[in-house]
Amino acid sequence: MEIIQHNVAERELNRIQQEAEKQRDKELLADALAREKALEEIEEAERQARRKEVIELQQYYKKSASDKEAYEKLVDEFVQQEAER
């Protein structure tokens, strides 16, 4: 009888230990998934920041080109007016 009770107790301890290991594995997996998701969010934020910077640079250079064209046009008009005098 004592052996049976010992076996039952041992099985119960093994079951508890296995459940604890499964729980630990679940927590480790959840932590790993959370880290991976956080990294993906950081990478996405960096991509969006780079994209925004590229768009801003494109707008700046377009404006600079427009300003340069306007300046050159004014210079050409001034030169033409001076030539007509």
- Rounded Cα distance, 59 and 46, in Å: 20
For residue 52 the two structure tokens come to 């925004």
pLDDT tens figures, 3-59:
888 888 899 999 999 999 999 999 999 999 999 999 999 999 999 999 999 999 999
What are the DSSP calls for 11-73, one per residue?
A: HHHHHHHHHHHHHHHHHHHHHHHHHHHHHHHHHHHHHHHHHHHHHHHHHHHHHHHHHHHHHHH
Q: Among candidates 2, 68, 71, 17, which has minimal Cα distance to 79?
A: 71
Residue 69: band (very low, low, confident or very high) from pLDDT cuts 50, 70, 90 = confident
What pLDDT does 75 receive? Answer: 87
